Amino acid sequence: MMPLSNFHAHSTFCDGAESPEDMVKAAIKKGCSAFGISGHAVMGFDTCWTMTKWGECDFIAEMDRLKKAYCGQLELFTGVEQDYYSPPPAGRYDYVIGSVHYIKKDGEYLSVDESEEEQTDTVKRCYSDDFYTYTRDYYRTIADIVSKTEPDFIGHFDLVTKFNEGGKLFDESDRRYQDAALEALTAITEKHKLFEINTGAIYRVGRTAPYPAAFLLKELFKRGGEIILSSDSHDGVSIGYKFDEAAELAKTCGFRYAKTLTQSGFIAYKL
Ligand SMILES: [Zn+2]
Ligand SMILES: [Zn+2]
C-alpha cells in the first residue's frame, strides 16, 4: 500500500485554518507516516496570506516543539513555500517548495491565484484581455524558479489555470498556451526534476484535476522528472485528499514511483 505523507500544508502562521498542532494531530489520525507544514514565505510587501517576519521564528520554534512532542508517531518536517519574489528565507527549514503566486508587470505584483474575479480583472487591465500573453508571462517567471528559490520540489506548476475549469477563461489545448508551459517545463527540468502533483484546488475551488495537467505530466515523465503527492492542505481534513486518484493519473502518464521525505532525504516508493 502507498504510504501516506504530505509536505505541502499551511497553518494559522500563514493562511491555514488550524494551528500546527491540530494539523499534526489530523495527519496522525489520517495515518501519515511523515508530514510537513510549509509556511508561506514572507514577501517584500504586506500580505494577509504569508507568515510575518516575527511569526516565522515562532513557527519554526513551534514545529521544533511538535517534533519532540510527537516523536515516534510520525516524522515531522518544517518547510517553507518560497515564492519567486520572496526574499531569501531568514529561518532554517528542512525543505523548500518553489512556487509562483505573482506575475510582476511594470513594477506591479499581479496575484495569480487570489480569486477568479481578480485574475480576470488583471488580464483585462494589464493584458488587454489576452490570457495567452498573461499565461506566457506566468510561465516565463516560473521557468526561472530553480535559481530563484533553490527548491526541493516545484509547487503547483500550472497554478495559472486555477480558475480555468472547463476552459472557461482560455483554451488549454491552444498552442500558444501549451508552448509557453512546455518551454518553462523544459527550462526547469534541465536543473531540477522533482515536481508536486497538487490536489489542493480540487478540494478548495472544485477543480476536477490536480496540478499539473496530464499533458505536462507526460512531458515531465519523458524528461526524467519525478513526482511527490501534495494536498496543499489549509485544514486537517484535506490532508491526502484524492491521493489515490492523483497516483492513478501519474501512472497513466508513465510514472511508476513517487517520492516522499524521510530523515535521510527524499526516497522513492512504488505507486
Ligand atoms: Zn502556493
Ligand atoms: Zn501552498
Ligand 1 mean position, distance from CA 69 (Å): 28
User: Average pLDDT, stretch 94-109?
Assistant: 97
The Cα 18–Cα 234 span in angstroms is 7
**Angle at alpha carbon of residue 2, lines to 150 and 212, rounded to 5°:** 45
Instruction: Look at residue 100 and tell me whether its pLDDT is greater than 70.
Output: yes
267 CA from centroid of ligand 1 (Å) = 23
The residue ranges of every structural domain in the chain are: 5-270
What is residue 90's predicted lDDT score, i.e. its pLDDT? 83
- For the stretch 206-249, pLDDT in tens is 999 999 999 999 999 999 999 999 999 999 999 999 999 999 99
Ligand nearest to the CA of residue 142, numbered in listed order: 1
Ligand whose nearest atom lies closest to the CA of 154 = 1
Say which ligand is closest to the CA of 80. Answer: 2
| Percent share of the chain, pLDDT over 90 | 96
CATH architecture of 5-270: Alpha-Beta Barrel (3.20)
Q: Per-residue pLDDT tens for 39-62?
A: 999 998 989 999 999 999 999 999
The DSSP code sequence of the chain is -PPPEE--B--TTTT-SS-HHHHHHHHHHHT-SEEEEEEEPPPSS--SSS--HHHHHHHHHHHHHHHHHTTTT-EEEEEEEEETTSPPPSS--SEEEEE--EEEETTEEEESSS-HHHHHHHHHHHHTT-HHHHHHHHHHHHTTHHHHH--SEE--TTGGGTT-GGGSSS-TTSHHHHHHHHHHHHHHHTT--EEEEE-HHHHHH--SSPBSPHHHHHHHHHTT-EEEEE--BSSSTTTTTTHHHHHHHHHHTT--EEEEEETTEEEEEE-
The whole-number average pLDDT for the span 17-24 is 98
Average pLDDT, the chain: 97
Residues flanking ion ligand 2, Cβ below 5 Å:
81, 232
Predicted confidence at residue 91, as pLDDT, reads 84
**Angle, CA 13 vertex, CA 11 and CA 14 arms, to 5°:** 80
The pLDDT value recorded for residue 271 is: 95
User: How many Å lie between the centroid of ligand 1 and the Cα of residue 81?
Assistant: 7
238 CA to middle of ligand 2, Å? Answer: 13
* Residue 1 pLDDT: 66
Instruction: State pLDDT tens for residues 108-156.
Output: 999 999 999 999 999 999 999 999 999 999 999 999 999 999 999 999 9
**Degrees (nearest 5) of the Cα angle 97, 52, 161?**
45
Whether 68 has a pLDDT exceeding 70, the answer reads yes
| Ligand 2 centroid distance, CA of 114 (Å) | 12
The Å distance, Cα 101 to ligand 1 centre, comes to 6
Q: Which ligand is nearest to the CA of 16?
A: 2
pLDDT of residue 2: 76
Give residue 209's pLDDT: 95
